[in-house]
A and B are shown apart, each in its own frame.
Chain A
Amino acid sequence: MKVANRAPIATRDGFGQALCEIGATDERIVCVEADISKSTRSCLFAQHFPSRFFNVGVAEQNAIGVAAGIASCGLIPFVSTYAVFASMRACEQVRTTVAYPRANVKICVSHGGLTPGNDGVTHQGTEDMGLMRTIPNMVVIMPCDFTQMRAAVFAAAKYDGPVYIRGTRDAMPHLYDEEITDRYTIGRAIRLKDGGDVAIVAIGDMVSHALRAARELAGSGLEAMVIDMHTLKPLDENIVVQAALQTGAVVTVEDHNILNGLGSAVAEVLAERAPVPMRRIGLRDTFAESGPYPALLAKYGLAVADIVDAARAVVGRKERSK
């Protein structure tokens, strides 16, 4: 079946399924869960491998430490909880007990960004990627669809070191077919569409929005390049620089605070290596609120129309500076 015809599904489901699959072939795979397995989808792993599933209760700090201890004995623990709790409730545990000793711990979180919309700010992880990115040794990933999430989980299991993978609560359209699981490389971004007028660099749930924005721009004669920057860290700097040199204008799109996430990371690279007009789409240093996910995206300036406007604006700045 063509990807476009498949029903949208949350990336957390990709995590749950992939974890179960690698668990079946690799006995070193262990899951440490903090009482939300039905929601994070680690419940699937729990059903199949109960002896390798440790539910430590609502105790994320302990979950991170337990995983670190497990990893030090040669097993590969996946910690499963929500973005906001793994990255902030247990932030220092991740920094000092996982990242500092380069423990082989995988932190796989659901409810990234505004996707847990109606739950409100307490459950929306909107600063997590920035926090994780700031910590040395961390790999930070947000896949854009179910299949890419599976690929990322497989890749993380093979990678020796700490990895943070952020999933969505809400369903996402399919952008990739199964081929990506073989081609997926941590830290290597994917150019989904070519275009010479502007480059839209997006991550996670915003990638499909970036593609829709590019289609709208094409309707008005602007050709946008679209880059799926699934790995926030290590950032694929070369693709960013190439995109800037080729198009002369860049828009970043992330379901995250504009501070310290994808927009910041891209701006850092461009400022040093290829300064061009740039706009960041994301939460403008604010908390959101309860509401349906698509409505929140619209209210907080992350809708397709906002990406289109930003793209036109940076193209305009480019033209004026010629």
Chain B
Amino acid sequence: MTAVDPANVDRLRTIARELRKRVLRMIHAAKSGHPGGSLSAADVVTVLYFSVMRIDPEDPDWAERDRFILSKGHACPALYCALAMRGYFGLEHLKHLREIGGILQGHPDMRKTPGIDYTSGSLGQGLSVGVGMAMAGRLTKREYRVFVLLGDGELDEGQIWEAAMCASKYRLRNLTAIIDYNHLQLDGGTEEIMPLEPLAAKWNAFGWEVIEIDGHEMLQILEALQRETNGPKLIVAQTIKGKGVSYMENVCDWHGRAPNDEELTLALTELGAQV
């Protein structure tokens, strides 16, 4: 089965649906967290962890592994579920998001959670870290690739553009950044709070090869992630905040609040059979 086989695409869709349900249960149990951005990123995270990345859950620190940085660290419920479903740690931990003594911090902590390649959550910093990892890969002659998932809101941070210039200067073809472009940040729409457009043109002008896709179409995500480039690659993934749960979709309020019992039941029903 090749990656773009219809069977693989179906498999990834099934996994993504399960992942979304786990994300919602997790945030519901913790009574806090960020469902909107976790759901918008769910498909990209699924494709990375279940089809594209060369990783070994038995050996999280494998030197040759592909790296993933969730620069928009608040979407960590999606990443935690992917890691648990891949076997980096037991699924039972998903019931203990944000708990004292737990391994799943409110934002990713590489020292506490197996499989987290870098600590993140303070927006705007992940791309620089990815640039450093890509440089190190070249220096150590390792073939790994580095993937950085950026939020659209965090593109307001100047450091993102420092890192964008830097990746371009060093022609880091082993680096891929993906923008989870759901068009909503905490206080409102991205075009209202701090306009990003023309976004693809900006990255292109910064020296990146830009691919625009529907961030919920598995085939498009797969193809974009696998395309070879001569320099750093940027994927603009058009997404929907809260994707998969009708009452959360495109609703800014679901950026950072947990569903109650009733809302959870409704969401799980929409997403199909029980996990």
Contacts and interface: CB of A to CB of B under 8 A. Distances in A.
Contacts of A77: 132
Interface in B229-247: none
B140 A69 contact: no
A52 B135 CA distance: 9
Interface string B98-140: 0000000000011100000111011001111111111111011
Interface string B175-216: 000000000000000000000000000000000000000000
Interface in A80-106: 92-93, 96-97, 100-102
Interface string A291-305: 000000000000000
B125 A73 contact: no
A69 B136 contact: yes
A225 to B, nearest CB: 41
A316 interface: no
Nearest to B112: A101
B166 interface: yes
A65 B111 CA distance: 17
Nearest to B122: A96
Is chain B's binding surface mostly helix, strand, loop or mixed?
Answer: helix
Contact of B125 (A54, A57, A93): A93
Contact of B109 (A56, A68, A101): A101
A74 B140 contact: yes
A73 B140 contact: yes
Interface residues of B, number: 32
A96 B122 CA distance: 7
B7 interface: no
Nearest to B131: A66
A66 B132 contact: yes
B129 A59 contact: no
B140 to A, nearest CB: 7
A74 B63 CA distance: 9
Given A52-B139, A57-B165, A93-B125, 13 more contacts: A59-B165, A62-B128, A65-B125, A66-B131, A66-B166, A68-B129, A72-B132, A73-B63, A96-B121, A97-B129, A100-B119, A101-B110, A101-B111
Interface of A: 30, 32, 51-52, 54, 56-57, 59, 61-62, 64-75, 77, 92-93, 96-97, 100-102
